[in-house]
Structure 1
Amino acid sequence: MNTSWHTRPMAAFDVETTGLDVEGDRIVTAALWRIDPGNRTKDVTTWLADPGIEIPQEATEIHGITTEQARAEGRPAAEVVTEIAAALEAVIAEGLPVVVYNAPYDFTLLDRELALHRPGRPLADQPLVVDPLVLDKEVDTFRRGSRKLVDVCAHYEVPLAQEEAHGAAADALAAARLAWKIAAQHPEIAALTAEELHAAQITWKSEQSASFQEYLRRRNPEAVVDGSWPLIPA
């Protein structure tokens, strides 16, 4: 019986936000899937928050949520962030690995939101994380082209239509399917336990960041790339 991590129950998480600054931007939407590949079942919980700040037009163009919509239909950020944390803590307690594409972005934003809305109470436990972006760069290091989720999904023939991309639920589900596909195609990835894979990704992300920093420094000697994974320390 195949008991690889990618054939067992897992979670998948994604947030859409007011911008790209993990230290200052806020969560607008979020989604958390519970997925059982063996039984082909899945269910999702989604959230819409009023982030308490304006949503820039460029962010709205990505995820489709305006400031007016968030204020009218979203719930207070503190309430939403607390619920997201509780839902994540539940899947972590069950031992489910959490698939997140470009994990440091989502988890760092959530961490800073928790520091704002419930100071001194980060996630109760750290999740075992599967980051398909790190996996893809490890197994196909020198492939040219974009590593955005929609483009990597296209490379692996994982469904994610352009018009669905940047919706939290669609992106999280696509990330889970992408993680499954990479593991299915690469026995060396599938052979690791979730704990071993988490530890390996810390090393791989550090190496990938160091390589990217070396590339950037050919043009800017002072370029610095943070290799923290899956969370950028405060």
Structure 2
Amino acid sequence: MSTLPWTRRPLCGFDLETTGLNTAEDRIVTGSVVRWGGGLPTEARTWRSDLGGAEISADATRIHGITTEQARAEGDPAVVVVSQIVTALSEYAAHAYPIVVMNAPFDLTMLERECARYGVRSLWDATPVVLDPAILDRYLDRYRKGKRTLVDLCHHYNVKLEGGAHNSEVDAKAACGVTWKIGQRYPRIGREDIGELHEMQARWARELHEDRRAWQLERFGEADETPWDWPFIPAPSGVGA
């Protein structure tokens, strides 16, 4: 494995646009995988799914601009899209490129549920390393006020959003840019072994999640009990088998 710090090697960006926000029931609409940085030209692949019979919610269409009719007419079979996304990510993981995913538990859980739905091998067979700018930013600068969407992080770290947010290719590239800027701003993180950094984020993510639950309990008297983990949420026993 290269001895260069991860900030000087290529990153693999990944982002999805979906039919909705329910990782168990909703489907992939578009997915993008990009190779970014490391002194190499940026390469991007984007897929559009025919939804496999599902429908895009009106709220989701307002966000990414794709209708059910467009997806069904222009998309490739969902099983093919899911398989090709996993193959592309697995190939980059095999080259020890970290997979950069903003809010990893959503996109990676969505992908995992789609794999189970169509009998596609899991991305986790390739044992990827994940970098999540949402976790890195929130842990390393946890007392900064304000929103922390990808758009907000791009403004904060001076990363250009080419063409606007809620396009999977644009968002995948932007997530890489923000993550790289975080590695530059916090040199200790930029020098960290990516395997160790993956494990550090897992601990930080759980700590941040528990902090949020404690705040909810104090503020509202109850906390969100939805199953949660990082970088993805394992399916309940017997689900997706």
Query: Normalising to structure 1: TM-score of the pair?
Result: 0.94
Q: CA RMSD in A?
A: 1.5
Measure the CA separation in 1 of the matches of 2:139 and 2:12. 22
Q: How far 1:160 moved relative to its partner?
A: 1.6
Residues matched between the structures, number: 230
* Alignment partner, residue 12 of structure 1: 13
* Alignment partner, residue 36 of structure 1: 37
Q: Which amino acid in structure 2 is aligned with residue 133 of structure 1?
A: A
Q: Does structure 2 retain, via aligned residues, the 8 Å contact 1:10–1:36?
A: yes
Measure the CA separation in 1 of the matches of 2:166 and 2:103. 13
Q: Which amino acid in structure 1 is aligned with residue 156 of structure 2?
A: H
Q: Which amino acid in structure 1 is aligned with residue 221 of structure 2?
A: P
Q: How far 1:94 moved relative to its partner?
A: 1.4
Q: Does structure 1 retain, via aligned residues, the 8 Å contact 2:10–2:40?
A: no
* Alignment partner, residue 198 of structure 2: 198
Q: Which amino acid in structure 2 is aligned with residue 211 of structure 1?
A: D
Measure the CA separation in 2 of the matches of 1:227 and 1:183. 26
1:170 partnered with 2:170: yes
Q: Does structure 2 retain, via aligned residues, the 8 Å contact 1:184–1:190?
A: yes
Q: Does structure 1 retain, via aligned residues, the 8 Å contact 2:99–2:128?
A: yes
SS in 1 for 2:49: strand
* Alignment partner, residue 4 of structure 2: 3
Q: How far 1:3 moved relative to its partner?
A: 2.1
* Alignment partner, residue 218 of structure 2: 218
Q: How far 1:6 moved relative to its partner?
A: 1.4
Measure the CA separation in 2 of the matches of 1:44 and 1:199. 27
Q: How far 1:227 moved relative to its partner?
A: 4.8
Q: Does structure 2 retain, via aligned residues, the 8 Å contact 1:9–1:34?
A: yes
Measure the CA separation in 2 of the matches of 1:155 and 1:185. 12
Measure the CA separation in 1 of the matches of 2:233 and 2:49. 23
Q: How far 1:196 moved relative to its partner?
A: 1.0
* Alignment partner, residue 130 of structure 1: 131
Q: Does structure 2 retain, via aligned residues, the 8 Å contact 1:210–1:227?
A: no
Q: Does structure 2 retain, via aligned residues, the 8 Å contact 1:133–1:147?
A: yes
Query: Normalising to structure 2: TM-score of the pair?
Result: 0.91
Measure the CA separation in 2 of the matches of 1:149 and 1:232. 21
Q: How far 1:35 moved relative to its partner?
A: 2.0
Measure the CA separation in 2 of the matches of 1:102 and 1:166. 14
Map Cα deviations across residues 108-154 of structure 1 (whole Å, 9 max, x no partner).
000000000016x3222221000000000111101111111101111
Q: Which amino acid in structure 2 is aligned with residue 16 of structure 1?
A: E
Unaligned 5+ segments in structure 2 are 236-241
Q: Percent identity?
A: 44
SS in 2 for 1:232: coil
Unaligned 5+ segments in structure 1 are none
SS in 1 for 2:45: strand
